[in-house]
Amino acid sequence: MRIACYALVEQHAGSVASANYLILEELLRRGHQVDLFAKADFVRRPEGLDRWPNFRYEGVLLERLRTLRDRWRPLLRGSLERIVEDWIYRRHLDALARRVAAWHRRQPYDVLLFLGVGAQFEVEGLPAVAWLQGPPQTEWQAIHRLRHRLIALSGRMLYWKLRAFYRHRQQIARRELTRCRAVICGSEWSRRHVIAFGVPAERVFALPYPFDLELFHPEPKVPPRHPGRQTFLWLGRIDPRKRLDLMLEAFALLLEKRRDVHLEIIGRFTYAPEYRRLIETFPFPEHLTYAPYIARTRVPDLLRSVDVIVQPSEDENFGSTVAEALCCGKPVVVGPTNGTGEYCGAAAFRFERYTPASLCAALEAALHAIETDPVRLAALARQIAEEQFDVRRIGERLEAILMRTVGALPVRQPAQSSG
In a domain, 192, yes or no: yes
- Residue 59 and residue 82 in contact, taking contact as beta carbons nearer than 8 Å: no
Q: What confidence category does residue 87 fall into, taking pLDDT thresholds of 50, 70 and 90?
A: confident
In a domain, 311, yes or no: yes
pLDDT (average), residues 28-48: 93
How many alpha carbons lie under 13 Å from residue 317 in its C-beta half-sphere? 23
Residue 212: how many other CB atoms lie within 10 Å:
18
Residue 239 belongs to domain spanning = 230-388
Same domain, 402 and 299: no
Condensed to tens digits (0 to 9), the pLDDT of residues 314-347 reads 999 999 999 999 999 999 999 999 999 999 999 9
Same domain, 352 and 262: yes
pLDDT (average), residues 17-32: 96
- Residue 99 and residue 56 in contact, taking contact as beta carbons nearer than 8 Å: no
Q: How far is the C-alpha of 138 from the C-alpha of 157, rounded, in Å? A: 21
Q: Please name which of 165, 142, 178, 179 lies closest in space to residue 86, comparing C-alpha atoms.
A: 165
- Residue 271 and residue 162 in contact, taking contact as beta carbons nearer than 8 Å: yes
Same domain, 377 and 396: no
Q: Please name which of 126, 112, 120 lies closest in space to residue 35, comparing C-alpha atoms.
A: 112
Predicted structure pTM score: 0.91
- What integer pLDDT is reported at residue 5 of this predicted model? 97
Q: What percent of the chain stands above pLDDT 70?
A: 94
Same domain, 250 and 370: yes
Same domain, 149 and 268: no
Same domain, 138 and 277: no
Position 195 pLDDT exceeds 70: yes
N- to C-terminal Cα distance for the chain? 35
Condensed to tens digits (0 to 9), the pLDDT of residues 227-270 reads 999 999 999 999 999 999 999 999 999 999 999 999 999 999 99
In a domain, 270, yes or no: yes
User: What CATH number is attached to the domain comprising 98?
Assistant: 3.40.50.2000
- What integer pLDDT is reported at residue 76 of this predicted model? 60
Same domain, 294 and 165: no
Same domain, 175 and 234: no
- Residue 153 and residue 277 in contact, taking contact as beta carbons nearer than 8 Å: yes
Q: What confidence category does residue 419 fall into, taking pLDDT thresholds of 50, 70 and 90?
A: very low
In a domain, 418, yes or no: no
Cα distances (Å, whole numbers) of residue 83 to 87, 118, 158, 334: 6, 20, 18, 37
Same domain, 114 and 239: no
- What integer pLDDT is reported at residue 409 of this predicted model? 44
- Residue 325 and residue 347 in contact, taking contact as beta carbons nearer than 8 Å: no
- What integer pLDDT is reported at residue 77 of this predicted model? 63
DSSP state letter for 260? S
Number of independent structural domains in the chain: 2
Q: How far is the C-alpha of 309 from the C-alpha of 387, rounded, in Å? A: 20
Q: What confidence category does residue 308 fall into, taking pLDDT thresholds of 50, 70 and 90?
A: very high
- What integer pLDDT is reported at residue 75 of this predicted model? 66
- H/E element holding 248? helix 244-255
Same domain, 240 and 356: yes
In a domain, 254, yes or no: yes
Condensed to tens digits (0 to 9), the pLDDT of residues 110-166 reads 999 999 999 999 999 999 999 999 999 899 999 999 999 999 999 999 999 999 999
In a domain, 273, yes or no: yes
Same domain, 272 and 396: no
Residue 392: how many other CB atoms lie within 10 Å:
11
- What integer pLDDT is reported at residue 305 of this predicted model? 97
Condensed to tens digits (0 to 9), the pLDDT of residues 392-413 reads 999 999 999 999 888 854 444 4
- Amino acid at the residue 185: C
Q: What confidence category does residue 279 fall into, taking pLDDT thresholds of 50, 70 and 90?
A: very high
In a domain, 72, yes or no: yes
What rounded mean pLDDT belongs to the chain?
Answer: 92
- What integer pLDDT is reported at residue 73 of this predicted model? 67
- What integer pLDDT is reported at residue 280 of this predicted model? 97
Q: How far is the C-alpha of 138 from the C-alpha of 142, rounded, in Å? A: 6
In a domain, 362, yes or no: yes
Task: Considering only residues 169 and 411, tell me which one the structure prediction assigns the higher pLDDT.
Answer: 169
- Residue 208 and residue 388 in contact, taking contact as beta carbons nearer than 8 Å: yes
Task: Considering only residues 79 and 306, tell me which one the structure prediction assigns the higher pLDDT.
Answer: 306
Same domain, 377 and 257: yes
